[in-house]
Amino acid sequence: MSKIKGTSTHNENKQHLISECIEVYAASLIGGQWTLHIWFYLISGKKRFGELKKQLPNVTERMLTLHLRKMEKNNLVKRTVYPEVPLRVEYELTKSGKALKVLFKHLAKWGEQHKEFERNL
């Protein structure tokens, strides 16, 4: 998840697609290898960083941090910092993040149908 140079052709194309197609915009918000995994664990409630890391042992701390920041920037996740020692930070889905549950149910159903389709080829 490296930064894309603002003046690059890739960035210009991406911004054009996002502005022209609402589906591309939506996909850009939830895209990323770990975003759906993180969402899956947060749908059950608030989690601390360490809890998420334990549930996602194959993700590096850096990648988890980057995805959580992206999700926070896209208003899918709310980050709450408690001023105590040691510092406690919790992540939870926003109202918009929780609304994805319906979409992901449909996506899961489609995934199962597609797997079955491929098995029958």
The answer to whether 15 and 21 have CB atoms below 8 angstroms apart is no
Q: What's the confidence (pLDDT) of residue 1?
A: 53
What are the tens digits of pLDDT across the range 32-80? Answer: 889 999 999 999 999 999 999 999 999 999 999 999 999 999 999 999 9
∠ CA 91-94-100, nearest 5°, is 110
Return the bridge partners of 48, or none. Answer: 90
